[in-house]
Each structure stands twice: as C-alpha cells, then as structure tokens.
Amino acid sequence: MELETTSMFAVLDIETTGGKFDEEGITEIAIYRYDGHQVVDQFSSLINPERPIQPFVEKLTGINAAMLKTAPKFFEVAKRIIELTENCVLVAHNAEFDYRILRTEFRRLGYNFNRKSLCTVQLSQLLLPEQTSFKLGKLVRSLGIPISDRHRAKGDALATLKLFQLLLEKDSHKTIITEQIQTLHKKNLSQAFHELIDSLPTETGVYYMYGQQNEIIYIGKSKNIRKRVRSHLTGKASKSRKIQQQITSVSFEKTGCEFIALLKEQHEIKSNQPTLNHAFKYRVFPIGIRIEKDPDGYQVLLAEQVRTNRDYLKLFRHKKAAVNNLFYWLEKYELCQNKTSLKNDKMRCSRIELGKCQGACENKETVAAYNEKLDKLVADCQLPQEDFIITSRGREKGNYSFIFMQLGQFKGYGYYELNHQINSLEKIKNRLVPMETNPDCQALVYHFIKNEKYHKLIPLKAVAHNPN
C-alpha cells in the first residue's frame, strides 16, 4: 500500500463519561481533517451522553453534567462526523480506544462505522524511540509542542495533530507510517455477534459458550463479562479463532464476587470438560509443600507434584512459586535448607555460614527445638477456624454473597439480603449452593483469606449473635 500525497487524515480526540467497558458515552469530540499539508476542515463540540459522568473523569476534564445539559446528543452530530472522516485515515493518540468508542456510539444508532486508523502512540515508539514517556502530555512537552486545555478534546486533538506532523517529517519515506495504517476490525463482527455481545452484562460472573450441538465449548470468568466475550470474538489468538468458528450462543451467571466466579469457573470446567478449556481441566495448583519426618526425626519440607492421598500445607500454580515460598519460610522460621527439598549434597547447609541455620543439618539443633519451629509454621498455615462463613459483595445492591466452610472443608456458596437469613447453620444450608470440594477449592479459599479480600469472616458459633 502506498501513501499518496492526496491522503486525508482525520486527527481526533474524544472525552468520555468513563465507566464500564462498552457503557461509556462521549462527552466531547474534536476532529481536524488534514490533507498532509494543512487543516481543510474541523469540528468540535460537547456531547450530551445521556448517562452520568464518573466523578474522577469530571475532575480530570472539568466537564460536568450542567455543561452538557444543552449540548447536542450524539445522533445530532453523527452525520457531521461521518462526512468529516469519510475517505480518511483516523489518527489518534491511543487510536484503538477512540475508534472503539466511536464504533460503539454508531452501533447504538444501528450504523456500522468503519475506518482505517493510525495510532500516534505506536508511531512515536517507532520513530521517537529515545523518548522516556509516550503519554500525550509528557511526550509533546518533551518535543516542545505547545499544548493547552489538556484533557479537553480540542486541546488534545490539536496537540495530536502537531505531533502527527512531526512524525510525518521524521518518516521521510513514509514507509513506517504506511505499514502502521490499520483497518481495525478487518473482519467485522456479524450482526449475530453484535446482538450476542450487547445482550451480556458488564458485571462479574461466569460465562458459558456453546457450539453447534448446543455443547459447552468454553467456560470463563470475568469482572466484565461483555468485555471478555468481546475479546474472544475479536481476538486473533488460536483459542479466539476456534471460539469464533464454533460459537453459536452464550449464557452467563452473575456472581458479584470475583472469588465465587473463580470457584465456579474451576469447578464447572472440571465437571463439563469443555473442549477449548485447558488450564482448569486438571489441577489449578499442581505443586504442593508437605511435611514428613526424616530418619533422625526432623520434620522435612518437601515441594512436589500434588498427589490425592497426601496432605499439603500450601498449594502453588507452579514449582517456581513453591521454591520461592520455601526460601521465604527458611528466612522467617530460621530453618535448615538441608531439611527441605532444596538440600544440597553436602552435610552442612549454606545457611550455617550465614548464621541463619542453627545446625539441624549437623544434628547440633535438637529434634525437639527444630520441630517446634515447624509446628509454628504449620499453625500459621491453618485456616483461622474450622467452621465459618465469609461474606463479600453480592450480585446487586442490597445483596451479599457468602461461602461456607465446615470442618475446614469448602462446602459451597450462597447469597442473602437480610442478616437473619444466615443467623443459623440450618438457614445457611437452606441458602447454600453446594459445590464439591477439591484441592484447588481449598487453595483458592486459603489465598482469599490470607489476602483479606472479603468483607467479614464469621465463626459459626458467632453467627446467631453477629450475622453480618
């Protein structure tokens, strides 16, 4: 493809309401139609997005609801935008974002907006590799390009235009810019895919993709179901292409709490064995650390592939994480490296030289003293209670989630609205969605508790007195 001297560009910037993916609205737009030599047309306007502006966006841009009350709505300026960008390559700083927002607004009007694009972030990285930052404000200031009205569409679009002019000069043969011109969404989503995506929520949950025989071909979880499914249907990776070839429909279950979504995802992948899922078909945490006694009676820490008939202190996604954790425990509890699976071939471990081993490897530290430290490690790894519930975010306002642990084993999850609905073991079980436990569930619960990502952990003996 050759870049002709008559090429037209539409340099633009868009400000939005912020918010969830695909639910944003445009609050301001500015476009400069540029022929490679001069601006031949331009347009800028505030836009009434007909939806609330996120507070952080209002603070960043200075655009508020009062300013937009009398501004035109998008459908009133849509024709002008089409005319101004017709036969143009769109140019924007982070073009993928601006292009997606425009396509979304036009799609709401039932129109398929399709243009080629150039991203000045990518071009700058190629043509100005010595720059330390490629954020618009820092980049143009570094290049001596004046910028005013930062985070307003007209100011940012004008700065992008000046930056683009510099990039055109830098790329004297126009080869790099020509190579970077993209037809975003070369393979336009079919109307069926658009309808499918638009029917999905932008909330947390688990989604199920079905194939030609109504069989589940893929199960996933996300904090934004619509965004994740869209990525599958527009992606170029091998898995995305297989999904695009096979998918006929999607269903979903909102969970509210990402942790419950993760539990459901791993459980249902194991139960349904979808053809395009690989990660959770087997173990999510295939490596574990356990304790056994050596011939001298010392308790030894071993990292190994998890086996079903053994108990483990902690499970890990890969061996490197387990090894790192062993080194952490060696430091924290002043343990002997030769009393772990990290031992060397020498009788004396290297930690003695550093004064961090008390000599268990040479039988200088008594078995009782050494094992007492291991007992403390084991105690620190235990769940805080045997019988308890953990409460967290629910699926909607006024709704809460809980998971139920009995005798240290995960039993399932549920939802409640009022405190009295979980104030006894009987009521908890009435609202429970049972789920079969497995080592992965136990590891997920352990990590969830240790990272304190829940609202409250309530011992069951305290449920009747302090249900929330």
SS3 call for 11: strand
Tokens standing for 168?
């055109």
Residue corresponding to tokens 């709401």: 108
Q: Which residue has the higher pLDDT, 171 or 414?
A: 414
Q: So what's the pLDDT on residue 149? A: 84
Quick one: pLDDT band at residue 321, thresholds 50, 70, 90? very high
Tokens standing for 270?
């194991």
Quick one: pLDDT band at residue 449, thresholds 50, 70, 90? confident
pLDDT tops 70 at residue 339? yes
User: Taking the domain 9-183, which CATH number applies?
Assistant: 3.30.420.10
* Entry field: residues in the chain: 468
Structural domain boundaries in the chain? 9-183, 191-272, 287-381, 388-462
Q: So what's the pLDDT on residue 5? A: 36
SS3 call for 454: coil
SS3 call for 160: helix
Quick one: pLDDT band at residue 335, thresholds 50, 70, 90? very high
Give the best-scoring range by mean pLDDT among 215-219, 438-442, 444-448: 215-219
Q: What is the mean pLDDT of the chain?
A: 87
Quick one: pLDDT band at residue 279, thresholds 50, 70, 90? low
Q: What's the distance, CA 241 to chain centroid?
A: 21
Q: So what's the pLDDT on residue 1? A: 38
8 A C-beta contact, residue 284 and residue 266: yes
Q: Give phi and psi for 119, each to the nearest 5.
A: -110, 120
Q: So what's the pLDDT on residue 322? A: 93
407 torsion bin: left (phi>0), alpha (psi -120 to 50), beta (else): left
Average pLDDT over residues 133-138: 94
Q: Which of 283, 280, 278, 250 is nearest to 265 (CA)?
A: 280
pLDDT tops 90 at residue 177? no
Sheet with 287-293, strands from edge to edge, namely 299-305, 287-293, 314-316
Quick one: pLDDT band at residue 185, thresholds 50, 70, 90? very low
Instruction: Report the greatest alpha carbon distance in the chain.
Output: 87
pLDDT tops 80 at residue 172? no
Q: Which of 138, 185, 197 is nearest to 163 (CA)?
A: 138
Of the chain, the percentage scoring pLDDT greater than 90 comes to 54
pLDDT tops 60 at residue 459? yes
Residue corresponding to tokens 């080869």: 175
What residues contact 133, with CB distance under 8 A and at least 6 apart? 139, 142
For residue 435, the one-letter residue type is: M
Residue corresponding to tokens 């809460």: 400
Q: Give phi and psi for 216, each to the nearest 5.
A: -75, 120
User: pLDDT digits over 238-268, tens only?
Assistant: 999 999 999 988 999 999 999 999 999 988 8
Quick one: pLDDT band at residue 229, thresholds 50, 70, 90? very high
Distance CA 81, CA 259 (A): 43
Residue corresponding to tokens 């995960």: 410
pLDDT tops 50 at residue 464? no
Q: So what's the pLDDT on residue 22? A: 80
DSSP letter string over 301-359? EEEEE--TTS--SEEESSHHHHHHHHHHHHHHHT--GGGBTT--SSSS-HHHHTT---S
Quick one: pLDDT band at residue 183, thresholds 50, 70, 90? low
Q: So what's the pLDDT on residue 188? A: 55
User: pLDDT digits over 56-111, tens only?
Assistant: 999 999 999 999 999 999 999 999 999 999 999 999 999 989 999 999 999 899 89
Q: Which residue has the higher pLDDT, 34 or 455?
A: 34
pLDDT tops 80 at residue 139? yes
Q: So what's the pLDDT on residue 465? A: 44
Sheet with 409-416, strands from edge to edge, namely 432-434, 409-416, 400-406, 388-393, 456-459
8 A C-beta contact, residue 93 and residue 156: yes
191-272: CATH class? alpha beta
pLDDT tops 80 at residue 311? yes
pLDDT tops 80 at residue 468? no
Between 87-91, 135-139, 400-404, 435-439, the lowest mean confidence (pLDDT) is in 435-439
* CB half-sphere exposure, 361, CA atoms < 13 A: 22
Distance CA 408, CA 292 (A): 21
Measuring CA to CA, how many Å separate 38 from each of 10, 33, 41, 209? 12, 9, 9, 50
8 A C-beta contact, residue 8 and residue 87: yes
Distance CA 388, CA 404 (A): 6
Q: What's the distance, CA 255 to chain centroid?
A: 16
For residue 35, count other CB atoms closer than 10 A to its CB.
14
Q: So what's the pLDDT on residue 152? A: 94
Q: So what's the pLDDT on residue 319? A: 92
What residues contact 285, with CB distance under 8 A and at least 6 apart? 306, 315, 316, 317, 439, 440, 443
Burial zone of 304 (CB within 10 Å; 0-12 exposed, 13-18 middle, 19+ buried): middle
Q: Give phi and psi for 167, each to the nearest 5.
A: -65, -40
Q: So what's the pLDDT on residue 357? A: 87
For residue 370, count other CB atoms closer than 10 A to its CB.
25
Tokens standing for 123?
């071009």
Tell me how many helices (H) and strands (E) the chain has: 17, 17
